[in-house]
Amino acid sequence: MPGTGKTSTVAFCLRCMLALGRSVLVTAYTHSAVDNLLLKLHQHGVPFLRLGPKPQVHASLHFATISERDDDPSWAGAPSATAAVGGTSAAQSLHPNKRGAVAHTGSGSGGGGASSSSSGKDAAKTLKTQIGTAKLIGATCLAAAGSKLLRAHKRFDCCVVDEAGQVNQPNVLGALFLAQTFVLVGDDQQLPPLVRSTEARSLGMDVSLFERLARAFSDRQAVTSVPRLSLESA
């Protein structure tokens, strides 16, 4: 049910996981759902990476955003390589004395093209290191499943899927395969996955993994109260 504090509760649980040293992939079907969780974490100073195209990401999270093309060494100079963990951009990591800039030279005289290519490779290497060391990364289910960076350089302890009732099963499985365990958060009584094909719906494409598990464990008991827990005690 909306308005029950689910996002705040999930954000607190994520902070507990991080306090216990776990690495977490935060994902959802929409960019807005991913960003809502990350904004809650940002309020508490939690460092993270946000994987996705900046135009689709909340403006307050641009400092932590990387995109797939930042990993392409052939993209000379990688001018948008500004991924941040704890507020440090890839550009600043490469050139700490030149804030917010990655060296970029044209193909003019003096071997500028070679310098540009070298900078692009250095930026890609830095991003791979950041992906490998980040404790928390946020991305949509599709972005996580299709990420070369995550598949090649990351294995999470847990994948947390918010609004899991809105994601069809094929879309969510790719993200789940990136982690050892997973947590699905949502409401199987709210909006189901959007499937336009009548044939696909008739074959069950509009049934989420969240709903399938809810049906399989229909004898589950609802949690009505939990003991008070602080990060200090965790």
Predicted confidence (pLDDT) per residue in 181-190, tens digit: 999 998 767 7
> Rounded to an integer, what is the distance from CA 91 to the centroid of its chain?
21
For residues 33-60, one letter each, b for 16 or more C-beta atoms within 10 angstroms of the residue's C-beta and e for the rest, the string is bbbbbbebbbeeebbbbbbbeeeebbee
CA distance 212 to 216: 6
Tell whether 128 and 148 lie within a shared domain: no
Tell whether 73 and 98 lie within a shared domain: yes
CB 66 within 8 A of CB 150: no
Q: What is the mean pLDDT of residues 27-34?
A: 94
Decide which of 70, 97, 132 is a domain's last residue. Answer: 132
Tell whether 22 and 100 lie within a shared domain: no
CA distance 121 to 171: 31
CB 65 within 8 A of CB 50: yes
Tell whether 169 and 199 lie within a shared domain: yes
Is residue 168 a part of any domain in this protein?
A: yes
Question: By CB neighbour count within 10 A (0-12 exposed, 13-18 middle, 19+ buried), where does 79 fall?
Answer: middle
For residues 124-163, one letter each, b for 16 or more C-beta atoms within 10 angstroms of the residue's C-beta and e for the rest, the string is bebbbebbeebbbbbbbbbbbbebebbeebbebebbbbbb
* Per-residue confidence band for 200, with pLDDT thresholds at 50, 70 and 90: confident
Q: Please tell me the predicted confidence (pLDDT) of residue 149.
A: 83
Q: Please tell me the predicted confidence (pLDDT) of residue 67.
A: 78
* Per-residue confidence band for 151, with pLDDT thresholds at 50, 70 and 90: confident
Is residue 157 a part of any domain in this protein?
A: yes
Structural domains in the chain (count)? 2
Whether 220 shows a pLDDT value over 70: the answer reads no
CB 192 within 8 A of CB 205: no
Tell whether 147 and 87 lie within a shared domain: no
- Among the listed residues 176, 131, 185, the one whose alpha carbon sits nearest the alpha carbon of residue 157: 176
The range of the structural domain enclosing residue 144 comes to: 1-45+135-221
Q: Please tell me the predicted confidence (pLDDT) of residue 39.
A: 97
* Per-residue confidence band for 114, with pLDDT thresholds at 50, 70 and 90: low
Q: Give 202's contacts (C-beta < 8 A, 6+ positions apart).
A: none
CA distance 72 to 128: 11
Is residue 231 a part of any domain in this protein?
A: no
Structure tokens at 167: 């994601």
Is residue 230 a part of any domain in this protein?
A: no
Amino acid symbol at 228: R
Is residue 109 a part of any domain in this protein?
A: yes
Tell whether 153 and 108 lie within a shared domain: no
Most confident of 20-34, 62-76, 89-103, 204-218: 20-34
Choice between 74 and 108, residue whose per-residue pLDDT is larger: 108
Least confident of 11-20, 89-98, 106-115, 126-135: 89-98
User: CA gyration radius for the chain?
Assistant: 20
Tell whether 93 and 202 lie within a shared domain: no
Tell whether 37 and 53 lie within a shared domain: no
Q: What is the mean pLDDT of residues 1-16?
A: 84
Structure tokens at 132: 């490998």
Considering the chain, what is the average pLDDT of its residues?
A: 76
Whether 82 shows a pLDDT value over 60: the answer reads no
Most confident of 94-98, 141-145, 150-154, 163-167: 141-145
Tell whether 120 and 150 lie within a shared domain: no
Tell whether 41 and 143 lie within a shared domain: yes
pTM of the model: 0.72
Decide which of 98, 132, 166 is a domain's last residue. Answer: 132
